[in-house]
Structure 1
């Protein structure tokens, strides 16, 4: 029985309060053996269950996606490699993107809305930028991408300013010194989600230098997610985009 059906029966008086409580506790997660899946996440948060695949064996990921297909229909896997994808039963119809490391199963019932612009500093930042873009797209946002627009050749950024200012929210992805979000913040109106990447030489400290630069930006309207967290940026961008498009 779905959650909506259960609530309808409770409101109609055909299901008792005790029975409702018992059923809700039973439905609170799906035990896949190696993981407990939150199959009610979408009804609470508007987004599907998400599985961080890195560190999990291909067999574990396959089991999770198999249970998700049976009970939820939609699930998003992040930080996946090809071995994770190839372990999933082909009959499930999962889709893998090599660049972002995203595995998607099912389609969310949403019409693409608003506009999220993902802009990255360099080609080396592409995996994180694509993780952000792919996450927002899967959730239902319309996404435009502008890659290799770093401040070392700032004229490249100027060429896309029109698209940046036409967005509901901008995701700015950069490694090295992480200056891109500050420059974007000084040139454009929409809110900016800054994503530091671990791209850079030794003193970049695996993204720490970029993270500190972004957190200390003097440009207003910038929020910062964790190092390499394209998923978190894409999810947040989608939520902001929904509010702007409402």
Structure 2
């Protein structure tokens, strides 16, 4: 506590960052939410801002608070309106307009329309680097958006991400051609919709932990990810399963495993 107060006194940090250190979270203006600035230190996973269900103004306010307190913001399920609001907020951040921080460095805004993610880094932010690789494998092009969300999250945690796309079981040669590459990874996320067979196949080919990510592609009986989820839960190959379209959770879990691999290597 004393270190935080002394840093505040000499202007090394602003009030928002001091609040987040002391309380474990930071509040935004106009009642637009509380940001869990301490999550990464507590859990090893950066706090994400779910844009779905929030107004663009709320997303932008939380993004500004995230950058103020941690130097970074990660937004999921964002659309064009959310992105425009965030870019405007970051322009104000760069000008130092009404931003409660000791310094107001510029920030980069990276929006991936396909995955619906926004990643914001302050100019002086250094993303963690782990000596571990996460392979993110998708069965078909329709599964790429959810797989991409998982990849963004794992990368922000610090893992090296290897994307391997369009290797579904309709032609086993496609996945068999990539098995040596997948075997090099420390943890594997496999996104698949329809019947969701690919995670089970991959889990039978590799020694690394496999996380099944069911995707809501497919239609009719068992559609919208139901068959993919149930197939993963019934897998005869050993794997872990997250919920339908839960790219953030799959990426975060893979990132945590990557952190453990990195830590073991350092020991």
Task: Indicate the TM-score class for this superposition, using the shorter chain for normalisation.
Answer: 0.7 to 0.9
> Aligned equivalents of 2:80 and 2:258: distance in 1?
31
Q: Which residue in the other structure is 1:94 paired with? A: 109
SS in 2 for 1:44: helix
Q: Which residue in the other structure is 1:229 paired with? A: 246
Say which is worse superposed, 204-213 or 63-72, in terms of deviation.
63-72
2:200 is the counterpart of 1:204: no
> Aligned equivalents of 2:240 and 2:213: distance in 1?
9
| Aligned pairs (5 A) from 1:33-44 | 33-44=31-42
2:24 is the counterpart of 1:28: yes
1:152–1:29 distance in 2 versus 1, CA, 3 Å: same
| Aligned pairs (5 A) from 1:82-231 | 82-88=80-86, 89=88, 90-91=90-91, 92-106=107-121, 107-220=125-238, 222-231=239-248
1:4–1:198 distance in 2 versus 1, CA, 3 Å: farther
2:262 is the counterpart of 1:245: yes
Q: What do residues 73-113 of structure 1 show as CA deviations (whole Å, max 9, x unaligned)?
A: 21211111111011112424322111111111224541243
> Aligned equivalents of 2:202 and 2:57: distance in 1?
43
Q: Which residue in the other structure is 2:47 paired with? A: 49
Q: Give the one of 64, 71, 74 matched to 2:72.
A: 74
Say which is worse superposed, 41-50 or 138-147, in terms of deviation.
41-50
TM-score when scaled to structure 1?
0.87
1:25–1:99 distance in 2 versus 1, CA, 3 Å: closer
Structure 1 residues not aligned, in runs of 5+: 10-22
Q: What do residues 157-190 of structure 1 show as CA deviations (whole Å, max 9, x unaligned)?
A: 0111011111100101100000001111111111
Aligned length: 230
Say which is worse superposed, 90-99 or 79-88, in terms of deviation.
90-99
Q: Cα distance, 1:241 vs. partner?
A: 1.3
Q: Cα distance, 1:29 vs. partner?
A: 2.0
1:204–1:28 distance in 2 versus 1, CA, 3 Å: same
Q: CA RMSD in A?
A: 2.1
SS in 2 for 1:93: strand
Contact 1:112-1:137 at 8 Å conserved across structures: no
Structure 2 residues not aligned, in runs of 5+: 8-18, 92-106
Q: What do residues 217-239 of structure 1 show as CA deviations (whole Å, max 9, x unaligned)?
A: 0012x000010011111111011
Q: Cα distance, 1:27 vs. partner?
A: 2.2
> Aligned equivalents of 2:74 and 2:65: distance in 1?
13
Contact 2:49-2:63 at 8 Å conserved across structures: no
1:194–1:27 distance in 2 versus 1, CA, 3 Å: same
> Aligned equivalents of 2:207 and 2:249: distance in 1?
22
Contact 2:20-2:38 at 8 Å conserved across structures: no
Q: Which residue in the other structure is 2:100 paired with? A: none
